[in-house]
A and B are shown apart, each in its own frame.
Chain A
């Protein structure tokens, strides 16, 4: 079956430009997570969507970062006025609701963002 997909796989952008990263979760998964993976830094939690509840945005590093999830499915992470320190691999993961085999996250392949 289809897993979590992310696009684009690679993105090179100039400093100051805006970028949009897309995540298509597994069908039926109502929880969706965004992480940032920097070299030697592990995974940094960014934002979490759970069903129709308000998202947990506590991990977003600055107000240049935002995310939305339309129709409870596809999610877009937007970074405005990109900076070189935003260069990283951005990972999306999805899972079922709690209590339904939850907590097991399925990860997408990631988007490698390079800000020049």
Chain B
């Protein structure tokens, strides 16, 4: 079975500052990894995903994440945040069969003007 841990439930950051949202997973098999974003009063949308290839993955809105197999991590980063990045961010993992997705409990990012 897989599981996902997002250690930071809330992350406040000033506008234009860098941010890192942490995600660690546990799995006995190879996995695919995802970050989803949920803006206030909206549904979840895919931010980026790692399936294979380069361990540095770029997504929408200037976000990127790096897959680190040895540390079983997939941290999300953005060099300079905007007010509009205020949202809930979810990390998710699935095995190669793609049958079940395991989501973390989410990190609430608040960008402070």
Contacts and interface: CB of A to CB of B under 8 A. Distances in A.
B98 A108 contact: no
Contacts of A80: none
Interface string A18-46: 00000000000001010100001111110
A109 to B, nearest CB: 5
B42 to A, nearest CB: 7
Contacts of B51: 103
A104 B49 contact: yes
B100 A109 contact: no
A33 B43 contact: no
A50 interface: yes
Contacts of A50: 99
Range, interface on chain B: 20 to 34
Contact of B45 (A44, A102, A107): A107
Nearest to B103: A43
A69 B42 CA distance: 25
23 contacts: A31-B98, A40-B9, A40-B105, A41-B105, A42-B104, A42-B105, A42-B106, A43-B103, A44-B103, A45-B100, A45-B103, A48-B99, A48-B100, A56-B99, A98-B97, A98-B98, A102-B98, A103-B98, A104-B34, A105-B46, A107-B45, A108-B43, A110-B43
